Amino acid sequence: VGEIMESTECGDIFITAVELTLSLIHRYPELIPTHFHDTVDVLLGWHFEPSQPKSVTECAGRALTVLAPYWVQDLQFTYSLLNDFLDDISTTKDQLTSKADKIEKPPDKKVKEDASSDKPAP
């Protein structure tokens, strides 16, 4: 099931694979520790992919929430992922700032004064 989740490009198949995975985890919780990292990696990839429909990102988000007890059991992995996420945010911010700095600002246009205002009043 993990291979299907990882290799599919179809959101509906992903959702079905996630539902099956969660059912298996519920029935055989002893299996998740050996597959937890890979499962989370795939779920995060689908969850943060901006082109995915809402149903797919919500499914991935729900699955990540269902896995909460395993996040707590593997805090080193959890902290490592959070650190990677913060690094990604910082890198993205730096890239956006760099692009914004490269955009030329239009020159200030001075308002042309009426030529008649330069003439002395009669």
- What would the pLDDT profile of 87-105 be if each residue is shown by its tens digit? 988 998 888 888 877 785 6
Separation between Cα atoms, residue 40 and residue 48, nearest integer Å = 12
pLDDT, tens only, 64-80: 999 999 999 999 999 99
| DSSP secondary structure code for residue 1 in this structure | -
Give the Cα separation of 61 and 53 in Å (integer).
13
Q: Residue 107, Cβ neighbours under 10 Å: how many? A: 6
pLDDT, average across residues 30-51:
90
Per-residue pLDDT averaged across 12-31, rounded? 92
Instruction: Give the predicted TM-score (pTM) of the model.
Output: 0.72
